[in-house]
Amino acid sequence: MLPPTNHNDSPSNDSPIIVALDYPTALQALAMADQLDPALCRVKVGKELFTAEGPALVKSLIKRGFDVFLDLKFHDIPNTVAKAVAVAAEMGVWMVNVHASGGSRMMQAARDALTPFGDKAPLLIAVTVLTSSAESELAEIGLEGGVEQQVLKLAKLAKGAGLDGVVCSAREASILRQEIGEDFTLVTPGIRPEGSAKNDQVRTLTPVEALTNGVNYMVIGRPVTQSADPSLALRSIIETL
Ligand SMILES: O=C(O)c1cc(=O)[nH]c(=O)n1[C@@H]1O[C@H](COP(=O)(O)O)[C@@H](O)[C@H]1O
């Protein structure tokens, strides 16, 4: 397992797994969180849950001992994104993300907004190309050259803007490690343990393959949350690592 790479990593939890709490209510999200051990994973609050339940839910998870990744993928004018990221930091989240395609000025503004938080600042991560996107879909929105090239370009932009790392697929992790080096956090959704359904994900790898490719954190949703025994599913994945 790779060591934590950032000042904000909790020393008490070296698990690379972030469980995605993709639910429409706090009741469901907390029922799932209560089956998970905060020493074995972190949790992610995304657009669905945050839109429904807001900061109170995030604070409930933090109170239960979880590191929270607030996954709202901010993409707006620099001032708006900077303000939003600062509010996320005030909420006490461990990780927050923006879209790298918002550009370096937007990412730099977000980075600067976290400076006053010092060691308490969340990790600031840029989304490159979504793991649900196939090569043909990039062409559809005018991006020629392929997924890997686009991920690399956006990751370099994020690094240059002073961000802590990127969200990408584990398939691109090894090329990013080679090109950008070790001091850059790689967060990879689209993780599917051997034999589990892909759902809407396209660029997937198994947890072991992800770790071998040099990822720091893997986001896993449905393979854990929709299993008959989520706690067992999580522990089984950890045992393979
Ligand atoms: O930023 C993310 O977390 C994210 C980026 C990405 O490229 N792909 C992606 O699937 N995600 C999120 O990761 C989670 C994956 O969930 P499962 O497909 O159920 O494992 C979802 O909450 C997505 O919103």
CATH, domain range 17-235: 3.20.20.70
Q: Higher pLDDT residue, 4 or 74? A: 74
Per-residue pLDDT, 12: 54
Kindly state if the Cβ of 237 falls inside 6 Å of ligand 1.
no
Predicted model pTM: 0.94
Per-residue pLDDT, 14: 86
Q: Is 122 helix (H, G, I), strand (E, B) or coil?
A: coil
Where in the sequence numbering do the catalytic residues fall?
A: 71, 73, 76
Q: Considering the chain, what is the average pLDDT of its residues?
A: 94
Per-residue pLDDT, 112: 98
User: Is 27 marked as a binding-site residue?
Assistant: no
pLDDT range class, residue 25, cuts 50, 70, 90: very high
pLDDT range class, residue 4, cuts 50, 70, 90: very low
**What is the distance between the alpha carbons of residues 148 and 144, in angstroms, rounded to a whole number?**
11
* Amino acid letter, 88: A
Per-residue pLDDT, 2: 39
**What is the distance between the alpha carbons of residues 185 and 4, in angstroms, rounded to a whole number?**
9
User: Is 77 marked as a binding-site residue?
Assistant: yes
Could you identify the atom of ligand 1 that is nearest to the CA of residue 128? Answer: 7
Kindly state if the Cβ of 165 falls inside 6 Å of ligand 1.
no
Identify the residue whose tokens are 């996954």: 71
3: which DSSP letter? P
Q: What is the pLDDT of residues 11-22, one digit of tens each?
A: 457 899 999 999
Question: Domain ranges in the chain?
Answer: 17-235
Give residue 234 CA to ligand 1 midpoint distance, Å: 17
Q: Is 86 helix (H, G, I), strand (E, B) or coil?
A: helix
Q: What are phi and psi of 18, to 5 degrees?
A: -115, 115
Kindly state if the Cβ of 47 falls inside 6 Å of ligand 1.
no
Q: What is the pLDDT of residues 136-158, one digit of tens each?
A: 999 999 998 899 999 999 999 99
Helices (H) then strands (E): counts for the chain: 10, 8
For a mutational test of ligand 1's pocket, the pick from 18, 166, 219, i.e. the residue with the most ligand atoms closer than 8 A to its C-beta, is 219
**What is the distance between the alpha carbons of residues 98 and 78, in angstroms, rounded to a whole number?**
11
Give residue 144 CA to ligand 1 midpoint distance, Å: 24
Kindly state if the Cβ of 172 falls inside 6 Å of ligand 1.
no
**What is the distance between the alpha carbons of residues 114 and 80, in angstroms, rounded to a whole number?**
14
